[in-house]
Structure 1
Amino acid sequence: MKYLIDECLSPDLAALARVHGHPDSTHVSWLGLSGQPDHVITRRAVDEGFVLVTHNTADFRALYGREALHLGLVAFNTSARMMTLLLQKQLFLQAMNELGPDEDFNFALEISVDAERRVTIARYDLPGSSPAPAR
């Protein structure tokens, strides 16, 4: 599995993915895509077989909902001021653990952290269904 980390998240996540056995993982900025519209990022991720990791859930959920086939979307839901580098790394490690080593198709994994720092995880087909109840 290879991950494309959106520019709203740290490039450190791409390095973390590489350390954890995903050597083809990269960051939007490393591909020269900083500042590009979300549909351009989506197209690159889908065409090149990346799982996209973002903190911009609503926009990418809509874009991925229009794709017939993709390798996945991982989205973190927190308030912007809560999203520290440490939390990004913790959430990304949790996501990699949830996904495991095998590739899947047309899934979304959302990890949410509320104001009390409770974590909920929802995995669902995209396109195809709405988010499953969080656990």
Structure 2
Amino acid sequence: MGFSNLFHVAAAAQRVFSRQSFFASTINILIKEDFMTEARSKARPPQRTADDLPRPALAAALLLAVVAAFGLHTLFVAGPAMREAAEAELARVIADEDRDVCGQFGMRPDTAQFVACSSELAIVRQKQSDRDHAAAAGIL
């Protein structure tokens, strides 16, 4: 019921019950209470709660939060550790290759010839890496 309708009802009730003051005062009190209740309910917008969210939206938000947390963990915690482990593995593989190739030519790891052979192999690896990058860029 709107505000204007309440005033019309109150005016009509006062005209009907003007001779009977008890009824008029009772109706005035009831109308004022109803008017104040309606005014209070319109003054405050309803507040949303977690129960108002649909379950699929809540599940999607939770899934997004879990994926974001996992991504941040991978980026800042596991990522550097994995990169460090990959670099250590590459260094170990290169040392094994150097030992195998230079050993085939009779050079022992504790000699100056082995160090020279290992340096030459590093140069060969670098040149191959440059060729691979050039081919990937479309230059070759």
Q: Please, what TM-score do these two structures have when normalized by structure 2?
A: 0.15
Q: Please, what TM-score do these two structures have when normalized by structure 1?
A: 0.16
| Greater relative contact order, per chain length (Cα 8 Å cut-off, separation 6+) | 1
Rg larger for: 2
